[in-house]
Chain A
């Protein structure tokens, strides 16, 4: 039965957590109450990407794109749109406050430069319903891999597509599969790396939440190609919604004969199981992940042998990232040529990024490789919040580096980001503005690495701690110029001598910030000053007598208290007693309290 309207409610984590589920349930309830239950179908989808403006609700066929929806709006959506056929204007996305014009979805700045391959089904289908996935060419790639292509030809197809791993290193996917396929042994495994440990990245999570079958399908294709009969999805325990949706997808795939014995009558057997991570960043590293899958402490082991030769339980194993897998099903369905047209010469296809930090439109974006950072930050991301000045963008999380203004026009490829001293990483993209302090950020990432170092090798275990202590010293105003050279020396040693890339890249955020913002470091060291006011020990609060109207709010809020002044007269802070809590700074409505 066709419905008059379809209402798509975002079921991504961002929207769910701002009452998305309540909106979903209220819409269903209202449709019933208002007697139009049979005219409308309410569907919960994966993330639309535009999380900044969530919760998002989209109504078809009018393509109404509603933003910042509340459960209280459900009644009106049903009454107006479903019953009377009129859009709820006040909820529509608008370019700015003043305009009242409806903006077509494809014209929204945020979506204009995006191109969705990996996220093709997110925000479009109900991820808990396999039929909706199948209706959008789902499992046709598997069909071709089972009946049309030999394993050789699948590898050849992947080679033609140019797909490279999206988990960070960019290793050619076809080669990995081919090595594993040719490795001796009867028992082989397929593993999906869904550990996504970069703090501030959630592309893999959204992909699974929005389109779990794309992973399931691709893993079966992989199993068939390399000759494996078992696969594991290793996923963070902190992702309950994604885990739930994977479980549902696996169950449905079994019911449809897509998993289990004799898949679609092809004679090929394959099954999948989910295993939970337990909050250790290093377990994203493939050898550590395999240790963890075996139920052990997740410590990396030296390579070679590579997992392709000796992986899970010493058997040949393909381990790929979630996004890598999400590309496979669509490559197999649409063909390598289609895919190879997207992107650049050496970096094919698209890349998803979690765009966050001081950006107007934070959210999940997917762009063709070769798009420039400027396009992402300013066109898609809508520029910096509150009209502040752009300082830098960090890609690759704790393993990456900062990229500055002058490099914003570089097209994004694996090679260009590495050349800039950063890396593709999994896709966290953190935007920083003039209020962020690079010393503070370097310290933040280093503290993360100190916490996450598994401790197996000395360069990483000791080096991260030493670098962190020096950064702390600088941020407290006790640094000396030689500290910068020391940081660089330890950093280089760590990069060379660490067993795995956690230690091998832990110095990147520090080294790249020193390279690009040496003067900021020097200000901390020489002038004992933190321009951004982030390094607490260096901040001095003062009241600007010219701006102070003597309202006394600051004095009342100060917990010490150390602010004095007559009513309607400029107030003063007693620096010696000030504990630098910043209360007065937040409290003053006239901008009279300043950080120095």
Chain B
């Protein structure tokens, strides 16, 4: 039975070709795949296993070990809310609770329309602005619960 292969862009294939012969490069290739798909789809892991000739179980062993790699598709807009120590002390958890209630999701869930998901992250490196929320490349500092509806609304597509 022919398998429908997942589409890899030319650039991604070139990247894998370049890296696959280097020792210890599995993590770098997984990073590149996640960059492409925003997560690591099962079919992509399977295809990678075939290309580099590595057991799928080994690849999954690595994917699941590292927090950075996601195996489910996140929302189009990821609310990265910092839970580093400085942000935690200045109310980061409240921001997560409030965002979950606004978006009606829990943990890593994605909103029904696929628009949003929440990601608790650790120290974004601007603790002076704690608590910090990042959406895409936009950083919001000294965020209060009251500002959340307005910030989220900016990213909600009509």
Q: Interface on A for B, CB 8 Å cutoff?
A: 13-14, 17-18, 51-52, 54, 197-202, 205-206, 237-239, 275-280, 292-298, 313, 354, 356-358, 362-363, 394, 397, 428, 430, 432, 436, 441, 444-445, 451, 454, 582, 586
Which B residues lie within 8 Å of A430 (CB)?
85-86, 89
A276 CA to B30 CA in the complex, in Å? 10
Instruction: Check A278–B31 contact: CB distance below 8 A.
Output: yes
Q: Which 9 A-B pairs have the closest CB atoms?
A: A17-B139, A200-B85, A278-B66, A279-B68, A356-B86, A295-B24, A51-B128, A279-B67, A356-B127
Interface string of B62-102 (1 = CB under 8 A from A): 10011111000000000000011111111000100000000
For A296, list chain B residues within 8 Å (CB): 24, 26, 62
Residues on A with C-beta less than 8 A from B69 are 278-279
Some 8 contacts from A to B, beta carbons below 8 A apart, are A17-B132, A199-B88, A200-B84, A237-B31, A276-B28, A394-B85, A444-B85, A586-B145
Question: A-B pairs with CB below 8 Å: how many?
Answer: 130
Q: Which residue of A lies closest to B130 (CB)?
A: A356
Contact status of A14 and B129, CB under 8 A, knowing A276-B31, A279-B66: yes
Q: Interface residue tally of chain B, by bracket?
A: 35 or more
B41 within 8 A of A: no
Q: Which residues of B contact A279 (CB under 8 A)?
A: 66-69
Structural contact, A294 and B24, CB atoms closer than 8 A: yes
Residues of A within 8 A of B125 (CB): 13-14, 202, 205-206, 239
In whole angstroms, what is the CA distance A572 to B51 when docked?
68
Chain B residues within an 8 Å CB radius of A206: 125
Q: For the complex, is B42 an interface residue (Cβ under 8 Å from A)?
A: no
Q: A444–B88 contact, CB under 8 A?
A: yes
Known: A200-B84, A237-B31. A18 touches B139 (CB 8 A): yes
Separation of A298 and B64 alpha carbons in the complex (Å): 11
A356/B121 in contact, CB under 8 A: no
Partner of A14, one of B65, B67, B90, B126: B126
Contact A294 B23 (CB under 8 A): yes
Interface centre among A278, A292, A445, A454 (most CB of B within 10 A): A278
Which residue of B has the minimal Cβ distance to A358?
A: B89
Q: A278-B68, A296-B62, A363-B128 are in contact. Are A199 and B24 (CB under 8 A)?
A: no
B85 with A356: CB separation less than 8 A: yes
Contact, CB under 8 Å: B123 / A202: yes
CB distance from A93 to the nearest CB of B (A): 15
B122 located at the interface, meaning its Cβ lies under 8 Å from any Cβ of chain A in the complex: yes
Partner of A295, one of B25, B86, B141: B25
Residues of A within 8 A of B87 (CB): 200
Contact B85 A298 (CB under 8 A): no
Chain A, residue nearest B22 (CB): A273
Q: How far is the CA of A14 from the CA of B82 in the complex (A)?
A: 14
Shortest distance in angstroms between B42's beta carbon and chain A's nearest beta carbon?
18
Q: Which of A18, A278, A362 contacts B67 (CB 8 A)?
A: A278
- Is A297 a contact partner of B62 (Cβ separation < 8 A)? yes
Residue of A nearest to B82 (CB): A199
Contact residues in A for B66 (Cβ distance below 8 Å) = 277-280, 298
Inside 8 A of A362's CB, which chain B residues have their CB? 86, 127-128, 130
Q: A54-B128, A354-B127, A356-B130 are in contact. Are A276 and B27 (CB under 8 A)?
A: yes
Flag if A199 contacts B123 (CB, 8 Å): yes
Contacts of A51 in B (CB 8 A): 126-129
**Bound-state Cα–Cα, A436 to B89, Å:** 7
* CB of B2 closer than 8 Å to a CB of A: no
Q: Cβ of B61: which chain A residues have Cβ within 8 Å of it? A: 297
Identify the interface centre among A238, A280, A363, A436: most chain B CB within 10 Å of its CB: A238
A239 to B125 alpha-carbon distance, docked (Å): 8
Q: Which residue of chain B has the shortest Cβ distance to A559 in the bound complex? A: B101
B105 at interface, CB cutoff 8 A: no
Within the complex, what minimum Cβ distance (angstroms) separates B117 from chain A?
A: 16
Contacting residues, chain B, for A18 (C-beta < 8 A) = 126, 129, 139, 141
Q: B126 near A428 (CB under 8 angstroms)?
A: no
Assess whether B124 is interfacial by the CB under 8 Å rule.
yes
